[in-house]
Amino acid sequence: MSSAHQKWSDALPPEEQMLVRLREELYSGSWERMLADLKDRLKGRPYIFKLVNRIQDDISRIEKLQDYEKKHNVNLAEFLKGDQA
């Protein structure tokens, strides 16, 4: 089954792969912290980092990735690590 997750992960667009990596590096693997940070930025509250000017799109991407991980009980970062040599 992990090969199916690898295939799905490999097919992610670069923007979504980057979100998985940023989640791991900046938010200790937490989608919830990352989403809260982006939503705070939209509301003009203090935020941790800038993620270009596509916050709404990134929130949708995060929700898609988060749903996949929950449904399949996987961490997509494990499938991207081979790309970070």
For 36-54, write each residue's pLDDT tens digit: 988 888 888 766 655 545 6
Q: What pLDDT shows up at residue 39?
A: 86
Question: Which pLDDT belongs to residue 33?
Answer: 93
pLDDT score of 55 more than 60: yes
What's the pLDDT score for residue 84? 47
Helical segments of 1-85, H only: 2-10, 14-26, 31-42, 55-72, 77-80
What percentage of the chain has pLDDT greater than the value 70? 82
C-alpha closest to that of 27 among 41, 38, 15: 38
pLDDT band at 64 (very low <50, low <70, confident <90, very high): very high
